[in-house]
Amino acid sequence: MIQSRICKGCWEQMHVPVPIRGVISVPFRAFGVRPSRMNPNTCTICELMFAKVMRARKITIDATIMFADLRGYTSLSQSQSSDAVSSLLDAFYDECANAIWAHDGILNKTIGDAVMAVFNFPLVRNEHAGNAVRAARDIQQNWRGRREALVTAYGINASELGIGIGIHSGALSFGEFGHAHRDLTAIGTVVNTASRAQSVAEAGQILVTQEVFQRAQPDLKDSHSKTFQLKGFNASIELYAA
């Protein structure tokens, strides 16, 4: 991933060139300005901008949510050494993060052997659905090479290591939720649908909703759909293999 020398969020939103890398960034780091952990091409000032969201409790945005889950991790964690398990999870997080950041998303959560990404906040992109699809494809492609290295190093069965991905777009709530424990995240039906789509994706597969299929053309022009009954949803839903 190409790393920006100035914060993309501050430049695009406020037209202020805030340095986050290089010698010129050193004085700024003294005041706590550094690359964000959710996307290192943005900075902690962008996170402070989230304070506006926090004061409002939440805002409604149009965004794309992507869930990626490492298949086979639970069973492997019971049969492999702690070094192998930690290396496996590190590799999964790294490949997901690099792909998400390269396409201007934020890695909002790591949940055990899964990650949740948000596209279109704080970096606003008209093609955020397409960005999510491209990030998912990069994850799958890069993981195949990374997986072979893990198989060689630890003797892990390659057939047990795959990633299932689900993507959905639409209006959702983004903000800080909770009182005793505060969590900056996205919630709503869009999030739930992306999560459920991921749960039915096979290892190595990307499933997207009709909303993503329509928005991400022509990237998905050759995709075919299949009807699924997702847990917690009364009506069946069409998902497209990306």
Same domain, 67 and 36: no
At 130, list the tokens.
């397409």
Residue 158 lies in a domain: yes
CA distance 156 to 79: 10
pLDDT in tens, 226-240: 999 998 888 999 999
Same domain, 218 and 137: yes
Same domain, 69 and 121: yes
Quickly state the pLDDT bin for 182 (edges 50, 70, 90). Answer: low
Same domain, 162 and 236: yes
**Predicted local distance difference test score (pLDDT) of residue 223:** 92
At 217, list the tokens.
């053309």
For 112, how many CA atoms within 13 A lie in the half-sphere containing its CB?
7
pLDDT mean over 83-92: 85
**Predicted local distance difference test score (pLDDT) of residue 75:** 77
pLDDT in tens, 122-172: 899 999 999 999 999 999 999 988 888 877 777 776 666 899 999 999 999
Q: Residue 39 above 90 pLDDT?
A: yes
Q: Residue 93 above 90 pLDDT?
A: yes
Q: Would you put residue 84 in left (φ > 0), alpha (ψ -120 to 50) or beta?
A: alpha
Residue 49 lies in a domain: yes
Q: Cα–Cα distances in Å, from 122 out to 4, 62, 107, 141?
A: 15, 11, 12, 26
Q: Using DSSP, state whether 187 is helix, strand or coil.
A: strand
CA distance 126 to 181: 33
Residue 2 lies in a domain: no
Boundaries of domain holding 191: 58-241
Q: Return the CATH number at 140.
A: 3.30.70.1230
The total of structural domains in the chain comes to: 2
Same domain, 47 and 77: no
% of the chain exceeding 90 in pLDDT: 56
**Predicted local distance difference test score (pLDDT) of residue 161:** 82
Same domain, 137 and 86: yes
User: Which of 199, 228, 173 is CA-nearest to residue 69?
Assistant: 199
Same domain, 67 and 28: no
Q: Which residue has the higher pLDDT, 10 or 159?
A: 10
Same domain, 48 and 82: no
Q: Residue 99 above 80 pLDDT?
A: yes
At 185, list the tokens.
């995240």
Residue 3 lies in a domain: no
Same domain, 124 and 15: no
Residue 125 lies in a domain: yes
Gyration radius of the chain over CA positions: 19
Same domain, 220 and 105: yes
**Predicted local distance difference test score (pLDDT) of residue 158:** 61
Residue 235 lies in a domain: yes
Q: Residue 54 above 60 pLDDT?
A: no
Which of 56, 72, 89 is a domain's end point?
A: 56
Same domain, 50 and 63: no
Same domain, 79 and 175: yes
CA distance 54 to 56: 5
Which residues, 6+ apart, have CB-to-CB distance to 75 below 8 Å?
Answer: 160
